[in-house]
């Protein structure tokens, strides 16, 4: 009987391991478009309570800014694959199972306010940015110009004199913040950045916080900037409020897909880039956040990839 020599045996074992590892690659990672073509269905993951990005509307259907963008991606998938019809299956996910749903192929694209981080990129991939968010603040449009300047970070040239003169104004101001949130902790931790504020008032909802500023019982309301924009749209029909053009913290929000699926990611990024370049994004953005501000416009201009 012939016995393989040791080096040859080692090579054979190595090749066998490589072949098995390739065969074991998750089906969802490499073949999203193939799976969609075979099934005639694209599965869009959405959150039921992630207003205004992803939620269940009054009719029970998925809705929101991120969902609207995902449906544009679905249109591009249908065109790319030359399908006569493409069914869209809205799949509700939670913060606990959203990434697992991508990894096991339960959903093809996650349509929600998902923040891109290094840690998360170990498990999933992200599109080009769809929104910049973070802690923001709103005030009345007719609030003192000094307060606007302070919150916007626009300090006059002579800073010592400026701080001395405005500290008295700030002592008379009240800031509202949503109770039990990281924003509340942030306000208390960094209150010195805005001077001396006599009172911080904790509220239980964004609607209550906005109402307090409208009624004058509070001078400013701190919260997630994206939610502030959406809440103003619902609660401020007379345009008495404004969200200051300043981010006190930053996070990049993007659509999320399975890791290592570059063909599908290319299609997603191409779809978003075309929306940004052509201005089609304007109507979608306005539906959920109101008119596009300079920050959003800058994001779309910089994020759009050339053909």
Rg of the chain, C-alpha, whole Å: 25
Q: Write down the pLDDT at residue 192.
A: 65
Average pLDDT, the chain: 85
Q: Write down the pLDDT at residue 1.
A: 41
State the pLDDT confidence band at 158, using cuts at 50, 70 and 90: very low
Predicted TM-score (pTM) of this structure: 0.73
What is the per-residue burial (b if ≥16 Cβ within 10 Å, else e) of 90-118?
A: bbbbeeeebbebbeebebbbbbbbbebee
- In 3D space, the residue among 92, 80, 89, 101 whose CA is nearest the CA of residue 268 turns out to be 80
- In 3D space, the residue among 144, 114, 142 whose CA is nearest the CA of residue 127 turns out to be 114
Pick the CATH number of 135-243 from 3.40.190.10, 2.40.110.10, 3.30.310.80, 3.30.420.40: 3.40.190.10
Q: What is the DSSP letter of 123?
A: T
Structure-block tokens of residue 252 = 């990049």
List, in sequence order, every beta strand (DSSP E) within the chain. 41-46, 49-50, 54-56, 62-63, 87-92, 109-115, 124-133, 135-140, 174-178, 199-203, 220-224, 241-243, 251-258
Alpha-carbon distance 68 to 11, whole Å? 52
C-alpha angle 19-22-24 in degrees, rounded to nearest 5: 110
Do the two domains 27-133+251-303 and 135-243 of this chain adopt the same fold? Answer: yes
Alpha-carbon distance 112 to 30, whole Å? 22
Q: Are 67 and 88 in contact (CB under 8 A)?
A: no
State the pLDDT confidence band at 4, using cuts at 50, 70 and 90: very low
Ranges of each domain in the chain = 27-133+251-303, 135-243
Percent of the chain with pLDDT over 70: 82
Q: Write down the pLDDT at residue 169.
A: 61
Q: Are 222 and 177 in contact (CB under 8 A)?
A: yes
- Region class of 60: left (phi > 0), else alpha (psi between -120 and 50), else beta: left
List pLDDT tens digits, range 159-170.
544 454 556 666
The answer to whether residue 28 scores a pLDDT higher than 50 is no
Q: Write down the pLDDT at residue 56.
A: 93
| Fold of the domain spanning 27-133+251-303 | D-Maltodextrin-Binding Protein; domain 2 (3.40.190)
The answer to whether residue 14 scores a pLDDT higher than 80 is no
Structure-block tokens of residue 82 = 């030359």
- In 3D space, the residue among 216, 259, 265 whose CA is nearest the CA of residue 241 turns out to be 216
Alpha-carbon distance 109 to 103, whole Å? 11
Quickly count: other Cβ atoms within 10 Å of residue 50's Cβ. Answer: 19
HSE-CB for 140 with a 13 A CA cutoff: 15
């Amino acid at each position: 009987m012939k016995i393989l020599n040791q080096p040859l045996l080692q090579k054979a074992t190595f090749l066998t391991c490589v072949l098995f590892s390739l065969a074991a690659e998750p089906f969802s990672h490499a073949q999203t478009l193939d799976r969609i073509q075979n099934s005639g269905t694209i599965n869009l993951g959405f959150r039921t309570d992630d207003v205004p990005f992803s939620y269940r509307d009054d009719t029970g259907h998925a809705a929101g800014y991120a969902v609207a963008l995902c449906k544009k991606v679905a249109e591009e998938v249908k065109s790319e694959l030359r399908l006569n019809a493409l069914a869209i299956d809205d799949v509700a996910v939670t913060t606990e199972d959203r990434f697992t749903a991508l990894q096991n192929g339960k959903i093809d694209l996650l349509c929600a306010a998902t923040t891109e981080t290094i840690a998360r990129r170990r498990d999933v991939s992200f599109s080009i940015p769809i929104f910049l968010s973070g802690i923001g603040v709103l005030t009345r449009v007719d609030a003192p110009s000094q307060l606007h300047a302070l919150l916007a970070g626009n300090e006059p040239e002579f800073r010592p004199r400026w701080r001395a003169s405005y500290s008295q104004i700030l002592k008379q101001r009240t800031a509202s913040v949503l109770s039990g949130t990281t924003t509340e902790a942030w306000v208390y931790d960094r209150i010195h950045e805005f001077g001396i504020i006599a009172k911080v008032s904790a509220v239980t909802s964004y609607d209550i916080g906005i109402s307090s500023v409208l009624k004058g019982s509070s001078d400013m309301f701190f919260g997630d900037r994206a939610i502030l924009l959406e809440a103003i749209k619902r609660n401020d029909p007379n345009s008495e409020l404004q969200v200051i053009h300043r981010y006190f913290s930053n996070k990049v929000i993007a659509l999320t897909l399975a890791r290592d699926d570059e063909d599908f990611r290319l299609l997603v990024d191409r779809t978003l880039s075309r929306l940004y370049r052509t201005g089609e994004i304007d109507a979608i953005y306005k539906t959920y956040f109101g008119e596009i501000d300079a920050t959003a416009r800058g994001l779309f201009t910089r994020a759009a990839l050339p053909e």
